[in-house]
Chain A
Amino acid sequence: MRYAYFSGCKIPHHLPEYGASVQALCSALGITLVPMEFSCCGWPIRHENPVASAYSAVRNFALAEREGLSILTPCKCCFGNLKHAQAKMQQDARLAAEVGNLLGKEGMRLPGKIDVHHLLTVLDRDVGAKMLGELVRSPLSGVKVACHYGCHALRPGNVTEFDDPLAPTVFERILSATGAEMVHWDLRLECCGHPLRGRDDTISNALMRKKLENARDAGADILATGCTYCQMQFDQERHRIHETGDGTKKPTAVLFTRLLEAALGLAPRPF
């Protein structure tokens, strides 16, 4: 189990704890993460320039192909954009030619099909929920977890091929192994609001508030995230919505890898 590790741009400065947690978890589970100097996935620039976005993504495939590795990323927005670029290369010959031309200037060629996986998929496929369950040392019994799926991995389903876009199960399947109780809530497939952060903070805040309230009403203690941006939204940006109440701020946003680390006895409970 060797993968080219695509951390994405935000982890090193904005969310280093996710990077540390992913590394620790993967090394405990025998998943080898090969560090590579990837460029941006192209997601942030997709609003303004389709060529720059596609070239950013495809260049990474060329790098991974050189090493003969599939890509693994813990970020759903990186995952989504890499998959999107892959689909675009198939559909848009003109764009593919432009990207091929830019690659040529760097002495690279258009890569063949490179597999891109989100960490959840790798855990599900290479390790499996059953195996994870057997490795659990300190089960999270009694903890109610609401899984927050993250839009860009899920949709459009025909492009991302992540899980059933209308009724996904992989997140709950993996976290059930920890012994925690999975909460059913209506808005689990909705947007966290982070894509509008800095673009339209009003709507971004409203989307975040709505989701947090829905998860809280469903009884969740923890809102589990599997994406750098979702976690930044529900943790670092949360102060913007001025929650009232007892100050316990339920549900707390926790990166799913940290929940797994705690259950496997690799780290103390993060909440």
Chain B
Amino acid sequence: MTVFRILLVLACCICLAGIVRRFSRRHKETAFAPAGHNHEKSSPSGRSFATALADILLLRRTARTSMYRWVMHTLILIGFTGLLVFHALDDIIGYPFIPGYESTLDPWQWLRNLFGGMALAGIVLAAARRMGNARLKTFSRRQDWLLLAVIGGIMISGFLLEASKIISPNVFNRMTESYFLPEDENDIPALQAFWSAHNGVIFTPPASTDATLIAKGEELSANNCNYCHSPTASAFLSRALATAIGPAAPALNAANADLGLWYLHIVLAFAALALMPYGKFLHPVATPVNLAVRGGSHSARPPLETTAARKVGLEACTRCGECSLHCSVAPAFAAIGNADILPSEKLVSLRGYATGTLSEHETDAFAEGSRICTECLRCTQICPSGINLQDLWLSSKKSLKHRELDGPNTTIRQCNAMQWAEVLSAQGKSRFEQIKGDGLADRAESFWGCVQCTTCTSVCPVVAVSEAPAKDLDLTPQQIMNLLRMGLKDQTLAARMVWSCTTCYKCQEHCPQNIQVADILFELRQIATERMKERKLTACPLPAATSGRFSAAPLPPETKKPEGGKA
């Protein structure tokens, strides 16, 4: 038993260290900005103890989106909890508190098989789900498979252990030596005959099948064994397994397989204990806490206000992937391939962003995923763990914006149009442009009809609110068309007119020559974005010019303070 003790202490130490490490991880203060939707009326949050309990114990939130997942997770929850209480902790709960408790007596022996069978069935369903769904499979990470492997391994090794003990004459001998005093020389063979015939022990050479001897053995068993042992038939799964491995019994018995399996079983169980504070192994603790905190809310309310509340949310993810399977912008992920577009993956990066451990490249991916999110609330409504994802996204997006990490629209305004023209033309066309071939802006025929009549400029509402368009906007729409006509596309890519086009399509609607002015401006933004992305330009590489930086453009007098509180 010393090995057991050593392993237990070791597992506890690793577990404790992990807990300390996980909860001492500090969030950078800049990682979250207050969500600040103060215009919203606060609605009743529906906080209630009963709701939280239904969410935690009955997994009600899981049932709403997928019955398959509900069945799967309910099997694991009941099975695993049952084993934990009535088997793993029997020194603490079973023996002291249940009169006459013995692990090999019914109903405990039977229950252990039932719970183990439920948990294993759930694990199989979970693995099949991850294998069967193409998208889920692509973003399943090592920890997802590890958790299934460890828990599944505990169940399988447990059943194998029990089965190997059922068939083992060594175990039989150990028991009779410790607890049985034979009165005559036939007692042991009689007991062997009965246990072989009725309880599945496989002796080499085989025990006698003589009916009178078995009857004697039954009597001896009733007087000496039954107070501690129910028939092994009630361990219905292990007994079936024992029958199945019967042909290999002599070899297994000779190799003391039960001892090896015992080590495997406890090593896996202690591994689960040691890993508990790491990754999704923590979810059996963090998720119920989060569900209790959220009190059954399916919206972004109540908003998260404290770092502690955010931390609980960040830790509560079970990586079930439901949010990503239903995400509104999942098609963008399919087209672009950045996993951070999907909420379950973005949450992993957000943890890194919050603790300041993302590399520059990872930060870009996280920023792109955050930017593409449309804040549609669906992930928050769906999340079976009740994580207030919406609030996490809203506040981290604000933080990204504040740090000027929110994408091309911000980056392009860090230098002036001339500087960017130099930078963006330096390496010619992007791969994307080359593959796609000539677009509207490249084709001379797009502008053949342009007579430079300036209609596009005169109907443009953006030009109209500027006092000095040439200065504020770099170029007017008609000037952009003229440059494109002359093949000077790169000179237009960063013009403020291009980036501050409000996409109202008046220019295009009013053009007497049917030139697709607004569509061309869209294309210019797409081209500049592609070039910046391909060349990893997430900040202006040139020293920002003191004049001509977009945001420094003169404002119409009455709008000098764009930010501020409510009027």
Contact = CB atoms under 8 A, between A and B. Distances in A.
**Binding partners A and B:** yes
A240 B329 contact: no
A240 B563 contact: yes
A156 B300 contact: no
A152 B503 contact: yes
A201 B555 CA distance: 11
Nearest to B500: A200
Nearest to A11: B376
Nearest to A196: B502
A193 interface: yes
Nearest to A42: B331
B374 A242 contact: no
A40 B377 contact: no
A94 B408 CA distance: 26
B509 A166 contact: yes
A9 B375 contact: yes
Contacts of A202: 553, 555, 559, 562
Contacts of B39: 235-236, 239
Chain A CB within 10 Å — which of B377, B390, B461, B523 has the most? B461
A52 B331 contact: yes
B123 to A, nearest CB: 27
B502 A193 contact: yes
A155 B506 contact: yes
Contact of B334 (A10, A106, A209, A235): A106
A45 interface: yes
Interface in B95-135: 134
A4 B105 CA distance: 59
Interface string A161-196: 000011000000000000000000000011101011
A25 interface: no
Contact of A37 (B326, B465, B508): B326
A241 B372 contact: no
Interface string B446-462: 00000000000000011
Contact of A102 (B331, B505, B509, B558): B331
B375 A14 contact: yes
A106 B409 CA distance: 31
B181 interface: no
A196 B559 CA distance: 15
B73 to A, nearest CB: 22
A10 B409 contact: no
B504 interface: yes
B52 to A, nearest CB: 22
Given A39-B329, A49-B336, A207 B525 contact: no
A151 B329 contact: no
Given A39-B329, A48-B525, A13 B376 contact: yes
A191 B556 CA distance: 18
A40 B564 contact: no
A209 B559 contact: yes
B549 interface: no
A90 B500 CA distance: 29
27 contacts: A12-B378, A13-B375, A13-B377, A13-B390, A37-B326, A44-B374, A45-B332, A55-B332, A55-B335, A59-B331, A106-B334, A155-B506, A156-B505, A157-B509, A189-B506, A191-B502, A193-B502, A198-B401, A201-B562, A202-B559, A207-B461, A209-B559, A210-B465, A238-B567, A239-B566, A241-B567, A249-B567
